[in-house]
Structures are given as C-alpha cells and as structure tokens.
Structure 1
Amino acid sequence: MPVADAKDGPTIPKREAEGMDRSRHMEDELREQNQRFSAAVENMSHGLCMFDADERMIICNGNYLNIFCLEASVIRPGIRFLDILRHSVDIGIASQTADELYAIRKPYIDQAKPSTYEETLSDGRIVSISHRPLALGGWVSIYEDITEQRRAQEDLKEQHRRFDAALANMSQGLLMYGADGKMIVRNRRFLELYNVTAADFPLGTTHREALERLLELGIYTEIDVDSEVAKTEACLTAAKMHSAYRHLTDGRTVLVTRRPMNGGGWVVTFDDVTERRRTEERMTHLAHHDTLTGLPNRSMFRERLDLALEATAVTPLAIFSLDLDRFKAVNDTWGHPAGDWLLKSVAERLQRCLHNETDVVARFGGDEFVIIQFNFKGIANAEKLAKRIVETIGKPFRDKNREMHVGISLGIAVFPDDGGDADTLLRNADTALYRAKSEGRNQYRFFEPGMDAMVQARRALEIDLETALPRQEFDLDFQPIMNIASGEIVGAEALMRWHSPTRGTVAPDSFIPAAEETGLIVPLGEWALRKACTAAADWPAGLRVAVNVSAVQLKSGSFARSVISALAFSGVPADRLELEITETVLMDESEAVLRTLRQLRELGIRIALDDFGIGYSSLGYLRRFPVDKIKIDRSFIHDLGNRDAAAIVRTVIGLGAELGITVTAEGVETEVQLDILRGNGCTEAQGYLIGVPSTAAEIQRLLKSRALHSQTG
C-alpha cells in the first residue's frame, strides 16, 4: 500500500520507505560512532596520526600537532606524509631533512608488524614513535614525548652510578637486607674487611645464613646466632639503631651497626675500629693511672671510693691522706730524675704495705698519695697500717751510689664517723694530714672535730677575697705561646695574680678554689676577661689571648653575655679570644654548659681543653664536644724523658692531628723538650723556654718587637 508524503507529495511504497528509514538510522549511528571515535582520538594522552595506503593523512589529534609544533590549518586530512615531514623541517622542529626523516621512518612503516623507535627533535625533546599497520592498507602512528621519562631514567642511572661509587669507596663494610630478610646489597669493603668472597655471601642470603657463614669461616668464634637474629628483629620492631662490638679471631674489633629502613628491611655497617679501640683503651688506662708510678690516679680513686660508699652503706672504711716529708730536698739535691725514681719506689713500698688486696693506693700528684682501707676493723687496725707505712717509707732508699732519706705524714678519716661522702672524707683526711705535718712530720693523725684551724684559715681567705676585687688587688700576667713550626708568637695566656697587702702575692692554686666555692669566681672571671681583651686590643693583629674559665663561671647563666660584653668593650674580634676549660667542665655533662660553649664557638671564639690527660681525659668528651685545642699538661712535658710520658705525648699529638685539633704543650723549659715536640708534630709550645709570665706592658713590648722583627726579617 502506498504511503503519502508528509506534504502530500508523491506516494512512496511502504517497503522503500522503511529502507530509507533504516538508511537514515545507520547514517546517524555512523555519524555518532565517528563523533565518539574523534572524541576518543582527541582526548588521547599521546599524539595519534592515521594514514591510508596512499600515505595520505586520514585523521590526527591535537597532541600530535602539539608534540611537533604543527598547525591544524596546514596539517589537514589528505595531506601526504612526506609533505608533513617537509613542513616539520620548514618550521625547524625536525633535526634532519625531510628525505632523511622519510628514509628513517619508511622501513618501520612498511613492516607488516608493529614497530617502535625514538626520534630526537631539534629542541632536544625525545619522541617515541610507534607504527601499527592497518588491515586495508596504511598505518596508524602513536607519538609520545618521553623527554622527562628519559631524564628520569638518566637521573636514576646517575643515582645508581653514584650509589655504586659510594658503596665501592666506603670505608665501612655494608650489607642491605630487604623487607623479606634477604640480602639485596653488599659492598666491596665488606668482603675486604672479612677477607671473604662474593661467592661466600651471595645476594639473597638471609641474615641467619650470613651469621652462620661467618662462624663456619672461623671469623667469629663467640656469637649466638639465635640471639643475634632476635636482636635484629627487636631493632626492627623498635625502629631503633643498634650497635655492638665484634671481636674477630684475628684480634681485630669491628663495630657492627644495624639501622632499620623506612618501608622495611635494614642496613648493617661494619667498621674496623681496632686502632680506635686500642687508642681509647690506652687513653682510658692513661686517664685512670698515674704515668710515673702506674698507680690509680685521682679519677680512678674517686670512682672506687664513690662505688665503695654506695655499696657499703654502713661498713666502715678508712681514708689515708699521705704526703712525703723532705721530698723537695731530694729534688733540689739530686735532681728531678732522682725524685721520679724515689716516687716510683715509694709507690712500690706503699703497695707492699697493703695486706688486703681490695685496698687501693693512688697518687694524686707530686708527692701526694691516698689510700682506701676497705678491711677496716677499728682504730687499731688503721693505726697498724699507718705505723707500717711510716716505718717502711722511713727506711733509706738506695739508687746506685745514692742514698735518699724521706719520711711520710698521714692523715686518717673514717667512714661514716668522719664523713658520709667522698669529699668530706678526703677533706677531713687532708685536715688531719695538715695537723700531722704541723706537729713534726713523719707521723700520723686521725681526724678530730676540733681540727678546724684550716677551716678558719679558709674562711679568712674568703673574706679577704671578697674585698680584693673592689680594692683592685688583682692583676694579670701574660705568658707567650709559640707556633713550633714557624717559631712565631701566636698569642699569650692570661694568668691571674693576687697581690694582697696582708698576704703578699697569693698563688692562683690557693685562692681560685675558694673563689669557686664562694661564687666570687664569677665577678672575678668577668674582670679577667675584660682586662685580658683590653690588653690584647693593643697587640699586633691576629695574636690570640687565652683566658682560663671555670665550670662555676659557665654555669652562672650570664657567662656568654660577659664574654660578648668584653669583646665589644675592647673591640677585639671573637676569633682572637681563646677560652681554656678543664676536663671537669665536660665531665659535668651539663647541657646548659655545653650549649653556652657551642654558642660562643659559633661566634668564632676558640675553646681549648686545658691540662689534658691528668684527670678525666676520655675520647668520649672530645666526641661529645669538639674543641679547637687541647693543652698537654706540664707534668707530661717535664717527664718527656720517661718512656710512658713520651708515649702519652705522642698519642695526644697524634689524636690532635687526626681530629684536626691544635695541640699546645705546656711547661716547655728546655730545647730538648722543644725538639722532641717538634719532631712529633706538636703545634704550639708554652713555658719558660718560650717566655716567662710578664706584665701587660712587658708582653705588649715583646709582641710588638717580635711582630716588627718578623716584618723586617
């Protein structure tokens, strides 16, 4: 049946009309598919260009045009592939001619399978080009700008190269374990350190297997594998580093440190610390023993006494303070070598006097000795030991053709009757010793509460000290410091002097402790700082002034301000000021003190560790606070002829060189001493050979004279 047109036109057979509807529907569907295809092509993250069998472009997207800087008005459907290449050359994006580019791309296009290659544009960008053949002829090309990807890959390669170089040149051995507990990195130093091969420890080895292998190879002898694995697991669980020393069968010591990594796994480093440990052990021994006699020194004695007082609680013990009589006469008559021999002989006799192996005899310095009698059974017991000591030391000492006669005085304090702490016991034993000496020497006395004369004398000293500063009774002398290599004076140390109208000239050793105990050292120290800096302002440029500082000053809270004020007042640059501290300052472990020292050091002020080696020396203090200078105590320089003392001096000089720290030798009095120090690489020297302590005016003339001589010489 015919169908009428909507406008009453000619009628169309029904079947034909239905066919036309289907055709229009298909056209709409095709148009919609084309639109979807075009949208998909246009929204691709990569560039796309499709060509027919005649090498004419069918379609391309915006990313393709952007990659090659092409214009849509030029690159239109129907344009030939070669013309696109020519246009690329014309606009300068191509790095070769069109024919060269065509010759490069054509073989890839003609392949009957997908192909990919890279091309570098004239602006340095790298483009990955992939061709895919079409079933009816032609091809489709995908273009991706991989410049950043390539750069990232090159950066990664460079990082790997640097990582490999770092691993290969590390002074430490290194193993890295992944989250699965298997070895993923191993450096050459690890193999060298343990004298093993890569085959002994292949990648993929577990931690347990590595430990077992070290045992099998005889490198470790005493190690519990299960325990070590458990420690590693605990380290990972706590996310904390763990270090332990390993002693190898060949005598070496290795510091093994485990460090957890973010994301799982851990790193193990192996550091051969054999020499460092030996040095530390040697320094620890030297720090706790008197170099001349081999006896414990003050530091070790205090440790033993403190531990004993903590442990005994109520068990009595006795402290003996001993001092030789007429020892100065031996030195004056026979010389210091004879005096040293006598001190060693006295030490040996004192040790023989102790019948209880737990008792301790120590040398505090000079001719001062101290004894702890642990096996104390009453006054009679202490008297018996005291008499034995007086009798034994009173016997003649014969060395070659010389016969020396000395005596010994003793003061005895008993715990807990005469004091409940180490300081009180030692002070009371010293008080009793003073009484023994004042009553004729070569005898002993027990401490009695009535022995307060010394306390009264000390109080009188403190009263005089309180008025000495306002009365301007203090002054400073300066002792020059010389650079050993150049022979030039590089600075001077300020030395405090007290000229009392009633006491005469009082030695610093007599009034500084009292000033520290009363707190007077704070204003006195401020005065010394300002006075020293003011004097140094008139010295030739570059010469340093060294000022001694006590722990009490550093703890005062105003010390940093007083230093800065002294520098500002005098106009002396910070790098010309050197503050000398003793080891007790660092031993105190006060964070406030260390913070103050760091603050001053950051300003350029140099920090020197004075009297290094006589009391509490330890490498640990230098690790905790790196100083600029260490000063070797004069007692070691005086004993340079002694093999042990010379070994200590060499060790300290070597330590300074290793750490980049200036080393100054104090108490240099002879050319022989200076030559030994020069031969061992000591940096600076100070002592009577270099220059005696002089007034500010005298030192100023000396320094200016030396500076003028240096300029004209």
Structure 2
Amino acid sequence: MPFSTNKLAKQLQPLVGRLFDAMQGDPETAATVGTRLVELHCVGATSLRATIDVLSKYLPYQPEIAAIANLPERVGLVIGAVAAGYTDKMQAFVLEQQESVSQALVRANKSVQLNLKVSEQQFEELFTYSASGIAITDLDGTVQRANAALGRILRREVEEFEGLTLADLVVEPDLPLVEIALTELVEGGKHRAEERPRMLDGDGESVRVVLAATMQRDVDDVPNKYVLMIDDDSQLTLLGGQLQYQSLHDPLTGLPNRQYLTTRMESLMHAEPEHGVTLYHLDLDAFSVITDGLGRQIGDRVLRLVAERLSTVFAEEKAMVARLEGDEFAVLVENAPTTPDVNATISRIEAELSEPVFLEGHGVAVSASVGVLPRLPVNTTPAEILRASDMTLRRAKRSGRRQWGLHDATADKQEQKEFGLAAVMPGAWENGEISVVYQPVVALGDQSAVCIEAELHWEHRDAGVITHDKCVSMAEHTGLMLPLGEWVLRQAAAEAVSHTGMLAVCLTESMANNPDLVRDVRRVLDDTGLPASRLLLGFPVHVLGSDNGEAIDNLDMIAELGCAIGARDFSGSSTEVELVRSLGVKAVRIKGRTIRPDELITHVLEDLVTFVHAAGGLVVIDPVETEEQASWWREIGADACVGPLYCPEPGVSWPVSC
C-alpha cells in the first residue's frame, strides 16, 4: 500500500539521524538507510539516483558535521554505504520476486490437473504483468515465449524473440556460463541457477542483466522447459560507477579529491618516472575576504574558476589538478623533458589567478601561496609527502602573500621536532616537567636587581632544557599560552609575596589581548596577597599600537589596579615613542646589540633613552652578553639589562642567585 506524503516523511525522518551517526562514526552503518528505502518500496527507476544526488548536495553543508576531518571522503563513504545497502536489498528483493514467480509457476504446473484453467490464468497474469523479463525456452535454448518486460529490457519487439536461441541473445564470451548453469539444473538436481551475463539488445549493444533460471517438468517429471527471469543490472552498475566517481572527486569543482590524489601519487611512486614527479601545494591568499565580503556563493564560483585556470596552466602536461579541502589545491606533475621549470610554472600560475573575473558586477581575482616538492622523495608514503608539502607551504606563507618556497628536508626535520614538542607540551605541563624560574633585571650602574622576572623552564627527557622563548613560541602557536600564562602569573605571585622586590611577567600577544586578562590579574592578586604595586606586566609594544584587540583596554584597567606597565620589543619608531608617552609606561625593553653602534646610531639611541627617561620610564636592554656591551649601553644612558653577563642561567627559585 503506498504511503501518503506525511506518512512517508515520518518513515524517512529516522533515516536522517542514522546518516548523521554514520558521518560521525562508522560510515558502513549507513547501509541500513539504503536497506530501509527498499523496504519502504522506494524502488522507482530513479529512486537511488535521486537519493545519491540529494545526499551529495545535503550532507557536506550540515553544521552538525561541518567540523569532521576529511569531510568529502566521509561523505563519499557514507553515500557509498547507502548505495551498497540499497543495491543488496534491491537484489534480494528482485530475487525474492523471481523466486515468488518461479514458485508460482511451479505451483501452477503441479495444480494443472486440478484446475488447469485457473492455473493458466494465474501464469498468464504473472507472465504478462511481471516487472521482470520472462523467457520460456526449450532444453536446447530456443525461445518459445517472451513477455513485454523482456522486450523493454532488450529493446526488442516481443515477436522478435520467437525462434531466437540463447546463443543469439547472450554475448558470446558469457554464453558458456549460462549453458553450464542450465545444464546443472537438469543434471545436478538444482532448483535454481543464477548468473550475470551480458545480453544483446535490438541494436546489438550489450546489456548487463541478472538471469535466474528454473526448470519446468512435464506430468511425468521429465525436464522439458527452462523459465528464465531476467532483470536489467545496467542501471545499478551505472550508479555504482557514478558513486565511485563521486567518492573520488570534489563535488564543487569536479576535480579529483585528496583520496584520488594520494592514490595517483602512490602509483607514480611505484612507477618511478624517469624525470621525476613534482607536487605543487597551493593555498589561496585571504580567500575569506571574498566569502565574508561577497558571500559564499561568489566564493564557490571563485573556487571553480581557480580549478579551471589551474587545469589550463597544466593542460600541456601529464598532470593531476586536485582540490584538497577548502581553498587548498594540489597539482601532481609527471615531469617530461619539455616540462617548464618551477619558476616558470609559478609565474604562469600567478598570471592566471591574478586575471580578474567579473561575478555579479564585482571584479574578483586571487593570489596563492605555493609549497613545491620538485621531486617526490622515495621510500615514503603519500601522507608523509602531503605533510612535507604542507610544511613547505606554511614556511612560504610566513613571508607574506603570494609567496612560494621549495621543500627543505632539513627545515622539515627541525620543524617536525618542534611541532612534536609543542604537541606534547600540555602533557609535560600536567606532569610537572614545566616549571617557573626567575632571572634578575640588573641595574647597569651598581648591578643591583631592579626586579625579578618570571620565566618558563622545561626539562625534557630527550631534548634537554627548553628555554622560555621556545616554550612561549610553542604555547602561543598551539593556544596553550592563555592557561599557561595565567599559571605562570599565579605561581610567580605566590613565590614573590614571601620576598621583597618587584615581580615582572612578560605578556605574549594572546595574553595581552585576552578579554579575561584583567579578571585573571585581579584574582591572582587577591588569592596570593601580592600588592599590585609590586607587579610589572610587560606588553608587546606592537600589540599596543594595533587597532584590533583589547590590549589597550586591558592596559588601562591593569594600570588602575595599581600595577606597573612595561613595553617590550621596543624599536623606537615614532608610533612606539608616542605610545610610551601616552600610556604611562614605566619600563621599555630594547633589543640588545652585539656590535658597538657607530656615532650616528649612538646619537639616535641616546635621544631615545633620553625621551624614555623624560616620560618617566626605565630603559632595559635584552640581552647583554659581555662587559663591553654593558659599558657602551651604560654610556648611552640605559638603566638595566637582562642576559648571560650577570645571570648565565635563570635561577630555579626566588631569590635568584647569579
């Protein structure tokens, strides 16, 4: 009985939840969705095709699953599982129908003596109205009767079948399979045989079918006829091919996806082409400017345009252009003697992408940063190659927009080591491997301690001691710096409250812009009892000069608490000088020089020191390594310094012994 629209919607609603569960868990569980569609009799000629089309457009854009890693690949796997479940259930459904028809035929034959007229009528109804093709042949394979459904499947008039043999209808290479199956029905005592041969339609084209055969016997139980049930398998085969294409291609651009690229990469690595293989890994610069400014629809059209233009650049090469994810693309080039060098290729890419295109009245163009592996390394995996290309790309992007760089194995190894340390840093902190140590800020005059500065110290079991600057760099890169910075402040304040002197804590960019910075500082002061006047917080000066972020507001409120403010990484630009004057900075930290400045630079530095003093601040030099450096910085008028001259290594606790 057919469902109404509302009832069908209620039946289909739970299947959506199964799809989401499959996206987040095991994709194979989505097979139950395909099975359920067949159970609901959603088995029209275009049902599976329409289902795959809807899912391929629907799943990738659902917010519940947008953050899933390798989203296009998982969508392909889930859709594949749906189609597999549908196909398996459909085939079982067809076989059940065939079995039902076959059993009906057998029952009709056995009951002929009781009610021949009724049996013949039932048989004729099944024969005439069955959705499956039916052919009745004699034992030598000559067709005696065929129904209209078989005519539709093989594109022939029903009358054309009369007198044809299976040798006329089955593609020659597949004929032995059918003959063996029919022989086993007669000689082997089987009740049913099934094969998937190709049959010839009226135009001589082959059609893949599912052929199920049973045998009729006469009243003396002697075999005399074959009943063949034939269903078109080409649609499922075609849909299977389409599904495979979708699982290996990006639905937006039509380019090969990451999975297809890695498969091709692995194949080329095994083949070892004579002139090697080059990989270009591209990331569009500031693509979010387009999507945020003009909308996602324009962004999608730009991505399709980039795909077309990259394909144009490499049209003369044996190359695969792929979309990895988001606004990242890759090009795998099998080099030949005529392949342009990397410089020429990058120039062509830049020229193609920078040509504006007008979309809805907007002239839009893009640029890309590119990481290049000029020759794929041997004895490695596609995953490692893509990791190397990604690291090469990131190094190129550090130089700005529209940059490119070549793979550097040494730099890769060093970065991988650093990334590995950054990845395990939270665990090291949890296990107590990271501690707070202290170093003095020393007056250049009498070498007394102006204040004590808190720093991070990591005793790594393999890498040894990891310094404060390295710890900060890794923590800032991974997002660990905010909780770690608050912990440093709390640990240092708890230590400092038992001693005299000023405590200094340098803030990173993320800490300076942290909306909760003032709250954290207030809590630490309240919990530890450290007077605000004994705490100096150093802000990165470039952050204070930025129009974005909350650093200036944080600075003002922290100053209201009574804390002293410092500015670090000071270079002396006019903007920074104005900031020092307007913000009431108490200490300015200037990067040290290893070589004595010439007369002109000396005068500039003297004027800078004089200005900072006039603004009420101290000048701290970081680092000072030799007595000679200390002497000429003292002559220029600097007040204090940090570094190995007076404290070769930070102390482990306060008070510091240097």
Q: TM-score, normalised by structure 1?
A: 0.37
Report the structure, 1 or 2, having the larger helix content.
Answer: 2
Structure having the higher Rg: 1
